[in-house]
Structures are given as C-alpha cells and as structure tokens.
Chain A
Amino acid sequence: MTDLAKNLHTEHMVINMGPSHPVTHGTVKFVVTLDGETIVDFYVEIGYLHRGFEKMCENSTWEQVFPYTDRLNYISPMINNVGYALAVEKLIGIDTPERCKYVRVIVSELSRLADHYTNIAASALELGAFTVFLYFVEARDLIWDLLESVCGARLTSNYVRIGGLKNDLPDGFKGQTKEVFKRCRELWIDVDKLLTKNRIFLDRLRDVGIMPPDEAIAWGFTGPCLRASGVPYDVRKAQPYLVYDQIDFEIPIGEKGDNFDRYLVRMEEINQSMRIVEQALDKLPDGPINVDMPEYRWQSKDDIYTKIESLIFHFKTVTGGIKPPPGEVYFPVEGANGEVGFYLVSDGSGKPYKCRVRPPSFALTAAMPRMVKGSLIADIVPTFDMIHMIGGECDR
C-alpha cells in the first residue's frame, strides 16, 4: 500500500477563491496552491474596490471630503469623519468646544460597537453559527437606530464638520441609549454563552493564524489584531485625543495572537465601548457645539439670514471652500480595525492638495500569506474574518 502511495503521481492544485465569494467579503482574490488540503502557497490580490478616494478628494473642497471618508471604513463611518475633522483642525490650529468633543467620543464609540458586532456576526455566519449572526445584526440595527436619531442616516452619516458637528444630540438620547444598551448587553451575554466555550468554535479558531508580536509590528499591524498578539498599543491611550484621557476604560490585550484571541479582544472591547459611552453621557457638559470662527465653520441659519458678515462667510466657504494655512499634518485616530491616520497636505487653497488615509486593513491583509501558509484551506475562513478586511478602506 505504501509503495502504491509513493508511486502515485500528485501535483499541487491551484484554486482561485475569486473576487465574488461569500467568504472573501466581496472584494479580494486568493490564489491558493494546495497539496491535498494544506496550503503551500498563497497569493492575495486586492484592488477590486478601488474607487479613487484620493483623486476625488483632491477635486473637492475640504468640507466636501466628508462623504468620501464615510465610505472608507463603511461599518464605522463616524470614526473616519472624526479623524478627518481632527486632522484638518490640527492643520488650522483650532480647538473645538468641550461638548463637541464629548459628542464626538460618543458617536465614535457607537460606531466602534457597530463594527465589532458586524465582524463577529459575519465571522460566526461563515463558520456556521447562524443564530449569532441574527442576534448581533439585531444589536447592530439598534445601534444604527441611535445613530439615525443623531444624524439622520444609518450607515453613511456625514455628521462631523470641521470645527464642530452638523447638529446637536436629540432630546431623550440618554434614555434611548440606556434602553438600547440594556438589550445589547443581553444579546452579548447570549452570544458569549453560545460561542466562547463552544467546542467547534474553539477548534476552528484556537491556534490558527498565529502572528507573534515582533512580526506583527514589522508588518504594520495595529488595532485589535495587534493587541491580540500581546502588544499594548492603542492610540486612545498612547496619544489621547478628544477627551479620552478623562474617561476611565481599559484596553484588552491577548496572549497568543491567534484568531480566538482576536475574537476575545473584540468581545471585550464591546463592553469597554459601552462603558465609555455611558461615562461620556454622564459627563456631557452644556455649551455650543461649533467653534466660533465663521471663516471655518459657518454660523447657525438664524445668523446667516440676518447678519451680513455671516452670510458672506457662508457664501465664501461653501463656494470656494475653507482655506487652511499651507503645511502638512498627520493625525492618528483609533479606528475599529486599527490606526486610521489622515495625512493632509494643504497649499492654502480651498481644496486639499493631498488627502491620504492610512488604511489599517491594508497592512493586515498583506500579512495573510504569512498567517495562513502551512495550515489547512479551511483555516483561511476564520483568519480572514478575524482580520476584518474592509474593502472600502483597503482599496480606497
């Protein structure tokens, strides 16, 4: 029998897990070379969702870039909005009022919740746990209801403005949030009971897709995947922006760097985000939400329609765009998937000369071959899910 096996002619098989595949979240192509079920070679091709974000930003005014930033990491759009606004405010050198900072923290954390819920829901769906998908999509719909009451749209919010926000929080937001969080915590407990000690889930995710910490740093990992490898780096703690230094929260750190640690880190971050939102709502001060500089942030409509200076500034900023001083700036923000950094170059005109976003999932997807070579083909699914590559951000 063994002689027969030795003389058996085998060759490696090349399989294409193409761009339209249920597991590849739509837009990535994997070319997998297999020996039986073991992966021998792995090649990733991205770029199927390249929509020309940078080129469009160079042809729009500074304020018109906000809808484009929404569609980068489209599951947590508020964080991109906030990051871009903070970068432009750093370039100009202005500081927003306290209330604006607290509201920005609240909506960022709500977006982070939506992102983590989506990730765990989609991963569980692809591993076969359909109930978890339904529970967390319900939780995500509730969070989106909250965001819809704030800004009017569930997904692509376009809520933050340079120097402030589009409008203030609605009345009754605090009570609504308490109700939603009560339900979300129940769903979290259910999913925890279903998945965390589940034999099948553990077998699929434990010791799969391991990335040791120094390699993770060399590849440029950031966010939950880096923290799962044991590196305690979170932009909210390392270089606090907005009011994160006044809010008490922890960042969960993993041990092994495998997929199960990434899952646990995300589950714990959900709890921490809810804590942050509750603290921010308690501490929310009264006051204006827009900075009082009409050449960057236009006044309320009462002023525009009655005072001539406000009208002139409104006209100039809408038609010509605001005019930050020339220079360049880089501002990192902790996105749901990693460090989202905006690098802006201004030449003093109304349009950005360059608007670059540092995509966290780009670096994570680049390391896929390293994490997956040598394991079985079924391990591609949980690894890729836990990396949480989002096409809009990776390809921009």
Chain B
Amino acid sequence: MSVTLKKLKDRFPDSIMETHSFRGDDTAVVKKEDILKICKFLRDDKELLYNFMMDLTAVDYYGREPRFEIVYHLYSLKYNMRVRIKVPVPESDCTTDSIISIWIGADWFEREVYDLYGIIFKGHPNLKRILLYEGFEGHPLRKDYPVRGRQPLIGPKN
C-alpha cells in the first residue's frame, strides 16, 4: 500500500470507497461530496505535496449506476508520485464541486468535461462550452450520442 493511499485511508476513512493499484497506478475512489477536502489535503500535506493537477476527465459507464466517473490525475513534483482520484457521479444528480480554487489549471479541463459529458461543476466561474459551438445540442462523448450525428451550423446535413 503506497504512502498516498495509506494516508488517505487514515485521514478520510468514510470518504474513500475503494482503492487499488492496477499495474502500479495508485487509484482511490472517493465520494463526490468530499472531493474538495481531499484535494486540499493532497495538495497541502507535507509528505504528499501534489502540486500538479495533470488531467481531469470523465468516463461514461453506460448502463451502470452511477453512470459517470470523474477522473483526476495528480502528480507530486517533490516526491515524484502519481495518484488517480475517481469520483462517481450519478446521472440523476449530474453535478460535483469544482476544484478551481485549489488548482487554477482545472478551469478549462472542467469546461471540457461539461461540454462533452454534461456534468455541471458547482462554483466554476465560467461554465460554458469550449470545444463545440455555443448552440450545440447534446453532449457528444456520452455513449448514447451517435458518432455520426450531424449538427452543422451552415450547409447541408448530409
């Protein structure tokens, strides 16, 4: 059990739902209400110091409840460690807290997840579409959106 996972389990025993280390990647599945506390702890604790938020994305597990899972990849420069935090988000309550107050780089990553999956981040100052045009309907990376769906702004729908 790596340092990160052990400290997380000791500090937040009821927030951590599951941990594993498949192929050497430390992963922790946490409850979505506690994500802000956990991220702050990961960033500020003296033995962890996760100062890089490398990636923020979401996965759509269609047909499973909860449907979405937001995935954060963090990296600690000083201790050269990586961890992956996963937050399950049900389709009925498709919101979670924004971590922009902890790492400002999360700004655009969260906008992208909102754009492509439709998950709303509470507390984000400017949650607009970023990769698709403003009037686009639907969220394309969900599994029930067809890959060939056509929504042209101009021109034929071929």
A positions within 8 Å CB-CB of B: 45-47, 50, 52, 54-56, 58-59, 90-91, 93, 214, 217-220, 222, 231, 233, 238-239, 327-330, 332, 339, 341, 343, 345, 353-354, 356, 358, 362-363, 365-367, 395-396
Number of A-B contacts (CB under 8 A): 87
Does B57 sit within 8 A of A, measured CB to CB? yes
Main secondary structure of the interface of B (DSSP, over half): mixed
Neighbour of B109 across the interface among A54, A214, A362, A395, CB < 8 A: A362
Q: Are A90 and B131 in contact, with the CB atoms below 8 A?
A: no
Does B9 sit within 8 A of A, measured CB to CB? no
Closest A residue to B104 using CB positions? A218
Main secondary structure of the interface of A (DSSP, over half): mixed
Q: How far is the CB of A374 from chain B (nearest CB, A)?
A: 18
The count of chain B contact residues (Cβ–Cβ below 8 Å) is 33
Q: How far is the CB of A387 from chain B (nearest CB, A)?
A: 14
Q: Are B59 and A341 in contact, with the CB atoms below 8 A?
A: no
A55-B140, A217-B52 given; A327·B57 CB < 8 A = no
**What residues of B have a CB within 8 angstroms of the CB of A362 in the complex?**
108-109, 112
**What residues of A have a CB within 8 angstroms of the CB of B105 in the complex?**
218-220, 363, 366-367
**What residues of B have a CB within 8 angstroms of the CB of A395 in the complex?**
131
**What residues of B have a CB within 8 angstroms of the CB of A356 in the complex?**
55, 57
Does B7 sit within 8 A of A, measured CB to CB? no
**What residues of A have a CB within 8 angstroms of the CB of B133 in the complex?**
47
Q: Identify which of residues 121-149 in chain B touch chain A, using a CB-to-CB cut-off of 8 Å.
A: 129-133, 140-141, 147
Q: How far is the CB of B69 from chain A (nearest CB, A)?
A: 9
Does B54 sit within 8 A of A, measured CB to CB? yes
**What residues of B have a CB within 8 angstroms of the CB of A45 in the complex?**
130
Neighbour of B107 across the interface among A332, A358, A366, CB < 8 A: A366
Q: Are B52 and A345 in contact, with the CB atoms below 8 A?
A: no
Distance of A59 Cα from B130 Cα, bound (Å): 23
**What residues of A have a CB within 8 angstroms of the CB of B129 in the complex?**
47
